[in-house]
Amino acid sequence: MGRYVVRRLLQMIPVFIGATLLIFLMVNVMGDPIAGLCGERQCDPATAARLEQEFGLDKPVWQQYLTYMGNLFTGDFGTAFNGQDVTELMATAFPVTVRLTLIAILFEIVIGVTLGVVTGLRRGRPVDTGVLLLTLVVISVPTFVTGLLLQLLLGVKWGWIRPSVSSEAPFDELILPGLVLASVSLAYVTRLTRTSIAENRRSDYVRTAIAKGLPRRRVVVRHLLRNSLIPVVTFIGADIGFLMGGAIVTERIFNIHGVGYQLYQGILRQNTQTVVGFVTVLVLVFLVANLVVDLLYAVLDPRIRYV
Amino acid sequence: MLLEVRDLHVEFRTRDGVAKAVNGVTYGVDEGETLAVLGESGSGKSVTAQAVMGILDTPPGRVTGGEVVFQGWDLLTLKEEERRRIRGAEMAMIFQDALSALNPVLTVGDQLAEMFTVHRGMSRKDARAKAVELMDRVRIPAARERVRQYPHQFSGGMRQRIMIAMAIALEPALIIADEPTTALDVTVQAQVMELLAELQREYRMGLILITHDLGVVADVADRIAVMYAGRIVESAPVHDIYKAPAHPYTRGLLDSIPRLDQKGRELYAIKGLPPNLTRIPPGCPFHPRCPLARDVCTTDDPPLYEVSGTRGSACHFWRECLDG
Amino acid sequence: MSDRHHEPQAAVAGTSMGGAMDLGVDEAETLEKKPGPDGAGPEDRPRSLWSDAWRDLRRNPVFIVSALVILFLVFISLWPSAITSGSPLKCDLAKAQEGSQPGHPFGFDGQGCDVYTRTVYGARTSVAVGVLATLGVAVLGSVLGALAGFFGGTSDAVLSRITDVFFAIPVVLGGLVLLSVITSNTVWPVIGFIVLLGWPQISRIARGAVITAKQNDYVQAARALGASNSRLLLRHIAPNAVAPVIVVATIALGTYIALEATLSYLGVGLKPPSVSWGIDISAASPYIRNAPHALLWPSGALAVTVLAFIMLGDAVRDALDPKLR
């Protein structure tokens, strides 16, 4: 196991470098990295030249990348457009997005898995067909449309919630945005659980469990669920990375000041350091989440051995 | 009689229509007796057993007629909860492929102990001790350590021993073994079969041995029931059958066993294939493949004729067959 | 677009199996594999994967409905004037946010443009982006994937690492970064971006399919008989790898349409005066209180379009996946 982790960590390095380099290139080559540094005004040529030198922008891109990454590992993520340290920005933005993601994951587990189990056990019945169709619709409607519609219905028409979230973004205000963020994954979790349950339900070991005279509840929970949820757990684990990266749309709809919001601001103002810094952290989260998922597999399924 | 199955009918709904898997099966097992149920795959031997156990997949399967009487209970009329209490405790089943029949993510100890916690209400600790005891009983070495291992960590023969241990855990009156040795190496087959026979003698259990292997049957069975297209075509004490089969299908099965004294001769095989269960031919279902078939066989389904007090054959021409 | 769309597709599969598959007993196998004693029933003819799939599809209501919707969409994107006489750019601020009225069934948006006309013309953008991006992704992805799968070794390892890199970048984020600086007002930058980030998904599928097909005995036999690499790939391997690529590409088409709308909503996809559902939804969201119709119609059109493609892909998968038979 230890050796496996080390090998996986080593494999992550090229992916990490590739992904961050790609983003770095996109931002640098395409945008004007110093455009945002003078605030709202256009930089005058002299200041621009001074800034260029100060940030090493006159050097070749690969050198800039190395310098940036070097700084990054000493904890220096650079300066945001408003003069704040990017790390400070992260300290306020990440907790909000993490909360949002947590709520989304919770929805996936509670609603997605429940619906999946219910439909998987009742394959072909009306409940199953209905839920299946519903999941297709949810998968098809883009998140921003779902978000706007729910905001319109719950926030504006019925007044159940505040249409936009306050800057502290406490848990209760994030419930609806969390549901919106989770929606597509929720539908996938439902379908994945359903297929998995339906497949395992006909398996030999479930038949054995029934033949042993175990109560139905025990057959389902201890034998069927335990096996069927292995792929679901790994999907949800891998989803953490995607949700944090995808929160940008949800955060914009509900005006949540999280990672997506800061990134959006950074992009609008062409602030290289904010964008690259945040994306780097997101890529790291994604990679680590995937590693954890792989290790989780070994815990859940004793047949898997890592060499 | 410990178990009596009478005129059992089972159907499966499939894409291509209704498959009549079991069509009027009647058989019985006594305490301490071994009944071998013989037949090709698709003959309905496993489905009959599943209907007896109450583990048929419903839907698509459905028992459409007949009765199953076990220790005085009319099983098919019992409520599911009552049947559940019987399953595992009073009658148990051993499956063909222990690797897929055991839960891959639970330790064998957990799976054995479960029998005691659920049916006997034992504490987990006592149940665990019982599990070790059982593994010793089926002669798994180092039981105390291996109780914590998962099914995939055992060899095929050891896994099947665990299946057997699970079946005898609560000392049931009846065990149904569905091809218990088919998935095993030939050398291991004999050991496992021996163990099963020994335990059966010790606990005086009834045993239904489902198999397609005539070699296994000769040594352990008391009676044989031969199934074809969901019905019993011949039922007889084991020695009678080997001496002279009273049904052309049984004869075909016996002739297709490779024998050393016939080395060099072409191996016999029954011509044709078993019928599609959604379209069983009219008359005797075996007639398209039968060397003795005549016109009457294509129209009249033969009943189980009484050949002797202990023997029956579902062939219009059983006399002819018996005489060779 | 991303890995998440890859794995769950296994979950999307398996929606309409039933019947004999579920028997799960040895009897079922006999029913499935062995022909009846009388030999040649109508079911027993040898059937090809494609004719079989087509036979299944024709009887599948999901397929029929989604195919009709898609045909209609293609029709109105080619000839929008067939069902609307107005121009999507003719707007009258005086009528801003007004509701439904004769000749304007969907009402007016915040700029006083006719919502019906704009919704009709929006289909063109979505269909164009969806179809062109999918073509690009499918061609690039399957060529790269097939080559990597066929030749293996270093090229395969390099390609796999590159796909990993692309999967690690959040899609919407990449779009924001890359497209925010482009001022062009055509569909091409969006299409280019989708192809750039979308090909790894198809290449993984194609690679896997090619590796599986490569191990088939008849391919080994053809190789032993001295067939050239290009002949092996084109005649023996490609036909087997096409089915999974088609399925994934059809579903991806739907998600690309959704992605274009999302990017346009965020302001980096297409920009006004282009006509796109994403732009209209974005423009309507500030007036959500007073003129919800301006938001609902393009949203509905977008949802139905994406749904149609995803359901089509789902139906095609069910028909093509022999495991589900």
DSSP string, B282-313: SSSTTGGG-TT--HHHHH-----EEEETTEEE
- Residue/partner pairs of A248-252 with CB below 8 Å, 24 or more apart: A248/C170, A248/C172, A248/C173, A248/C176, A248/C266, A249/A143, A249/A144, A249/A147, A249/C172, A249/C262, A249/C265, A249/C266, A250/A100, A250/A143, A250/A147, A250/A177, A250/A180, A250/A181, A251/A97, A251/A100, A251/A177, A252/A144, A252/C266
Closest CA to C277 of C309, C293, C300, C256: C300
Contact C177 A188 (CB under 8 A): no
Which residues on B lie below 8 Å from A211 (Cβ)? 53, 55, 87-88, 92-93, 95
Contact A211 B115 (CB under 8 A): no
| Ranges A188-192, A239-243, B276-280, C226-230, most confident | A188-192
Contacts for B22 with CB less than 8 Å, ≥ 6 apart: B8, B9, B10, B44, B47, B48, B51, B230, B231
Cβ proximity of C151 and C126 under 8 Å: no
Contact C4 A188 (CB under 8 A): yes
Contact A212 B88 (CB under 8 A): yes
Which residues on C lie below 8 Å from B57 (Cβ)? 22-25
Distance CA B101, CA C38 (A): 36
Which one-letter DSSP state was computed for residue B146?
A: H
Is the CB of A201 inside 8 Å of chain C's CB atoms? Answer: no
- Please provide residue B91's backbone torsions phi and psi, each rounded to the nearest 5 degrees: -135, 140
Q: How confident is the model at residue B36 (pLDDT cuts 50, 70, 90)?
A: very high
Give the pLDDT confidence of B197-227 residue by residue, as tens digits: 999 999 999 999 998 877 778 888 899 999 9
What is the distance of C-alpha A154 from the center of its chain? 25
Pairing of strands B206-211, B34-38: parallel
User: In the predicted model, is pLDDT for residue A43 greater than 90?
Assistant: no
Contact A210 B55 (CB under 8 A): yes
- Mean per-residue pLDDT over chain B, rounded: 88
- The shortest C-alpha distance from C149 to chain A (Å) reads 20
Q: What is the mean pLDDT of residues A103-130?
A: 90
User: In the predicted model, is pLDDT for residue C323 greater than 70?
Assistant: no
User: In the predicted model, is pLDDT for residue B117 greater than 90?
Assistant: yes
Contacts for C249 with CB less than 8 Å, ≥ 6 apart: C134, C137, C138, C202, C313
Give the residues across from B175 on adjacent strands: B92, B207
- The shortest C-alpha distance from A302 to chain B (Å) reads 6
Q: How confident is the model at residue B264 (pLDDT cuts 50, 70, 90)?
A: low
Single-letter code of the amino acid located at C87: S
pLDDT, position C1: 40
Is the CB of A170 inside 8 Å of chain C's CB atoms? Answer: no
Which residues on A lie below 8 Å from C12 (Cβ)? 139, 188, 191
Q: Which residue does chain A place closest to C19, by CA atoms?
A: A124
Contact C173 A199 (CB under 8 A): no
Contact C10 A141 (CB under 8 A): no
pLDDT, position C290: 78
Q: How confident is the model at residue B159 (pLDDT cuts 50, 70, 90)?
A: very high
pLDDT, position C15: 31
Q: How confident is the model at residue C285 (pLDDT cuts 50, 70, 90)?
A: confident
Is the CB of C158 inside 8 Å of chain A's CB atoms? Answer: no
Give the pLDDT confidence of B231-253 residue by residue, as tens digits: 999 999 988 888 888 899 988 88
Cβ proximity of C171 and C199 under 8 Å: no
pLDDT, position C22: 30
Q: How confident is the model at residue C40 (pLDDT cuts 50, 70, 90)?
A: very low
Taking one residue from A and the other from B, the number of pairs with CB-CB distance under 8 angstroms is 74
Q: Which two tokens stand for residue B201?
A: 């003698």
Which residues on A lie below 8 Å from C3 (Cβ)? 238
Q: What is the mean pLDDT of residues A92-113?
A: 92
Contact A198 C2 (CB under 8 A): no
Contact B277 C31 (CB under 8 A): yes
Single-letter code of the amino acid located at C125: T
Cβ proximity of C2 and C167 under 8 Å: yes
| Ranges A47-56, B106-115, B301-310, C194-203, most confident | B106-115
In this predicted structure, which of A109-118, B67-76, C241-250 has the lowest mean pLDDT? C241-250
What is the distance of C-alpha C94 from the center of its chain? 40
Q: How confident is the model at residue A20 (pLDDT cuts 50, 70, 90)?
A: confident
- Mean per-residue pLDDT over chain C, rounded: 76
Distance CA C316, CA C310 (A): 10
Rounded to the nearest 10 degrees, what angle do helices A2-30 and C153-168 cross at? 70
pLDDT, position B235: 92
Contact A249 C172 (CB under 8 A): yes
b/e map A35-74, b = 16+ CB within 10 Å: bbbeeeeebeeeebeeebeebebeeeeeebbeebbeebee
Is the CB of B41 inside 8 Å of chain C's CB atoms? Answer: yes
Closest CA to C12 of B322, A183, B95, A116: A116
Distance CA B317, CA B247 (A): 8
Check residue B142 and give left, alpha or beta (phi > 0: left; psi -120 to 50: alpha): left
Rounded to two decimals, what is the model's pTM?
A: 0.80
User: In the predicted model, is pLDDT for residue C167 greater than 90?
Assistant: no
Task: Choose the closest CB to A132 out of C15, C164, C307.
Answer: C15
Contact C307 A148 (CB under 8 A): no
Task: Choose the closest CB to B42 out of C19, C27, C38.
Answer: C27
Helix (H) or strand (E) holding B144: helix B143-146
pLDDT, position C59: 84
Q: Which two tokens stand for residue B226?
A: 């031969």
pLDDT, position C151: 85
- Mean per-residue pLDDT over chain A, rounded: 83
Q: Which domains does chain C have, with CATH numbers?
A: 2-47 (no CATH), 61-324 (1.10.3720.10)
- The shortest C-alpha distance from A199 to chain B (Å) reads 13
Distance CA B123, CA B126 (A): 5
- The shortest C-alpha distance from B81 to chain C (Å) reads 24
Task: Choose the closest CB to A211 out of B53, B103, B152.
Answer: B53
CB atoms within 10 A of CB C57: 18
In this predicted structure, which of A174-178, B12-16, C105-109 has the lowest mean pLDDT? C105-109
The residue that leads in pLDDT, C46 or A146, is: A146
Task: Choose the closest CB to B276 out of C23, C29, C31.
Answer: C31
User: In the predicted model, is pLDDT for residue B115 greater than 70?
Assistant: yes
Contact A213 B119 (CB under 8 A): yes
> Which residue in C16, C21, C26 has the most chain B C-beta atoms within 10 A of its own C-beta, making it the best mutation to test that interface?
C26
User: In the predicted model, is pLDDT for residue A26 greater than 80?
Assistant: no
pLDDT, position C27: 33
Q: How confident is the model at residue C41 (pLDDT cuts 50, 70, 90)?
A: very low
In this predicted structure, which of A226-230, B110-114, C35-39, C108-112 has the lowest mean pLDDT? C35-39
pLDDT, position C26: 33
Task: Choose the closest CB to B57 out of C24, C31, C41.
Answer: C24
Share of chain B above pLDDT 70, in %: 98
The residue that leads in pLDDT, A72 or C281, is: C281
Contact A246 C15 (CB under 8 A): no
Q: How confident is the model at residue C28 (pLDDT cuts 50, 70, 90)?
A: very low
Closest CA to A178 of A251, A100, A75, A268: A100
Q: How confident is the model at residue C42 (pLDDT cuts 50, 70, 90)?
A: very low
Contact B41 C43 (CB under 8 A): no
Contact B42 C19 (CB under 8 A): no
pLDDT, position B216: 76
- The shortest C-alpha distance from C56 to chain B (Å) reads 13
| Ranges A6-15, A56-65, A152-161, C91-100, most confident | A6-15
Closest CA to B113 of B83, B135, B137, B82: B135
Which residues on A lie below 8 Å from C189 (Cβ)? none
- The shortest C-alpha distance from A296 to chain B (Å) reads 13
Closest CA to B76 of B26, B147, B5: B5
Closest CA to B247 of B177, B165, B314, B201: B314
Closest CA to B61 of B45, B49, B75, B47: B47
> Which residue in A145, A228, A267 has the most chain C C-beta atoms within 10 A of its own C-beta, making it the best mutation to test that interface?
A145
Contacts for B209 with CB less than 8 Å, ≥ 6 apart: B34, B35, B36, B37, B177, B180, B216, B217, B220, B221
Contact C177 A23 (CB under 8 A): yes
pLDDT, position B173: 93
Rounded to the nearest 10 degrees, what angle do helices C115-151 and C153-168 cross at? 150
Which residues on A lie below 8 Å from C254 (Cβ)? 140
Distance CA C231, CA C223 (A): 10
- Residue/partner pairs of A259-265 with CB below 8 Å, 24 or more apart: A259/A90, A259/A93, A259/A94, A259/A96, A259/A97, A260/A97, A261/A93, A262/A80, A262/A89, A262/A90, A262/A93, A263/C173, A263/C176, A264/C176, A264/C266, A265/A81
Task: Choose the closest CB to A205 out of B53, B92, B100.
Answer: B100
Is the CB of C285 inside 8 Å of chain A's CB atoms? Answer: yes
Q: Which two tokens stand for residue C39?
A: 């030999």
Cβ proximity of B172 and B92 under 8 Å: yes
Distance CA A185, CA A180 (A): 10
Q: Which two tokens stand for residue A121?
A: 């056990």
Distance CA C159, CA C153 (A): 10
Is the CB of B44 inside 8 Å of chain C's CB atoms? Answer: yes
Which one-letter DSSP state was computed for residue C79?
A: -
Which residues on C lie below 8 Å from A124 (Cβ)? 18
Distance CA A293, CA A290 (A): 5
Is the CB of B275 inside 8 Å of chain C's CB atoms? Answer: yes
In this predicted structure, which of A163-167, B121-125, B177-181, C59-63 has the lowest mean pLDDT? A163-167
pLDDT, position A37: 57
- The shortest C-alpha distance from A247 to chain B (Å) reads 35
